[in-house]
Amino acid sequence: MRFQQLADWLAWQEHAHPKPIDLGHERMRRVAGRLGLLATESWVLTVAGTNGKGSSVAYAAALLRAAGWSVGAYTSPHVLEYRERIRINGACVDESDIVRAFDAIDRARGGTSLTYFEFATLAARWLFREAEVGAQVLEVGLGGRLDAVNTFDPDVALVTSVGVDHCEWLGPDRESVGREKAGIFRRGRPAVFAGPELPDSVATQARGLGASLHVAGEDFGWQPAAGDCWIYRDGIGSVGPLSRPPLTGNVQVDNAAGVLCALRSVPGLVLSESLWSRAMVDFRLCGRLQALPGAPVWWLDVAHNPDSARVLADALGARPCAGRRFACIGLMARKDLPAVLEPLRGLFHGWYLMALPGDDMWPPERMREALMGEVIMAQGPPETLFPGIRDELGPEDELVAFGSFRTVEEALRFRAVDSLE
């Protein structure tokens, strides 16, 4: 075995391939074929989208488990531990199991180099086969058509939303991005679009494949019900009233409705109010307007593109704050900083600007320029920034730490959360 410890494997993988992101399926197909991973007996749902992928995967996995299925869920990136990426029946797999999977992949790949993400994707598929899960829910990492996850054929494909993000890989507009995300559709199989404003490119891709496309607002949707509940509806019938999802905002009901539509295709699965209720009992997902316990409240959110920033702004606007509300932002440099900040202007008493190591993050000085007219409280690395925030906040104040997953990670570590389990 090349390495015995997971940390050593991950450090090596970061430089094992010439480029950190190298889209395409040739390498994946070659190695997956050698490992016998291209086909599976599991039912497979693949989830792509600009926003809403993580919550949709979590809803689908929870519903399938509540229905008695054994479920493997693959997501990215992780927040605190690499193990978060690969879960079986809701639990993160053990590091030793990931090491065994990496070793099998390393032996099978021969002279084929793989990216960090490709290793992870193959490991998830390998561990799901070993566990003999009945269903796999796979989150696309970037785009769809050329992403490593799309090496594997889904029974149902779900596109949660289409927005302008990752333009250097996916194109400059929604039609270009939609075309890439609809690349997860398969000939003759169900496809679901859960977001607003269906791009023509998504519909065209579905028609070209003969995929059965179900569109939010046309073929399925939801309506409010009494008691802050909602009712799902589609051509088959309605389900509900259902309790609101544990995650905040109407967009989460949109995501849940898309998942319910996708799960209509699961053999023998009956959607019901009781199934939803059982699935939501222990439901949780880090970094989606997540409130850390205690006072003052710390809200954590991975809003890192214009669409998710608007969702965050709407959620904050619907939640009055008794005291002052502050923002703490850390954002990757490839993100459109002015567009992310625009819907959030005027919502905060002041801003804290996080300095994170690496050339791939926006430096505080540039963020300060983009926030001209807003009150800047302080800037610096998390180890000095967070103690100052803690000292500034009163019991009725709130902090909203948002941006990259690394921002949420630093906030959790400062608050002494070292595992999501």
Q: What is the pLDDT of residues 363-385, one digit of tens each?
A: 999 999 999 999 999 999 999 99
pTM higher than 0.85: yes
pLDDT band of residue 167 (cuts 50, 70, 90) is: low
Asked if residue 170 has pLDDT above 80, the reply is no
Domains 6-280 and 290-414 share a fold: no
The DSSP call for residue 219 is T
Give the C-alpha separation, 256 to 239, whole Å. 12
Give the max Cα distance, the chain.
60
Q: Give the per-residue pLDDT at 418.
A: 73
Tell me the backbone φ, ψ of residue 112, rounded to 5 degrees: -85, 120
pLDDT band of residue 119 (cuts 50, 70, 90) is: very high
- The larger pLDDT score, comparing residue 251 to residue 63, is at 63
Do 398 and 301 form a contact (C-beta atoms < 8 A)?
A: no
Asked if residue 169 has pLDDT above 70, the reply is no
Give the C-alpha separation, 321 to 57, whole Å. 31
User: 6-280 adopts what CATH topology?
Assistant: UDP-N-acetylmuramoyl-L-alanine:D-glutamate ligase (3.40.1190)
> What's the angle, vertex CA 325, arms to CA 361 and CA 313, rounded to 5?
65
Asked if residue 165 has pLDDT above 90, the reply is no
Q: Give the per-residue pLDDT at 95.
A: 97
Of 129, 135, 131, nearest to 69 by C-alpha is: 135
Superfamily of domain 290-414: Mur ligase, C-terminal domain (3.90.190.20)
For residue 68, the tally of other CB atoms under 10 A from its CB is 10
**Cα atoms in the Cβ-side hemisphere of radius 13 Å centred on 330:** 24
Structural domain spans, the chain: 6-280, 290-414
Residues 34-54 pLDDT 10s:
999 999 999 999 999 999 999
Which spans in 71-115 are helix H? 95-109
Do 300 and 292 form a contact (C-beta atoms < 8 A)?
A: yes
Q: Which residues contact 102 (CB under 8 A, 6 or more apart)?
A: 2, 3, 6, 9, 119, 123
Give the C-alpha separation, 263 to 386, whole Å. 42
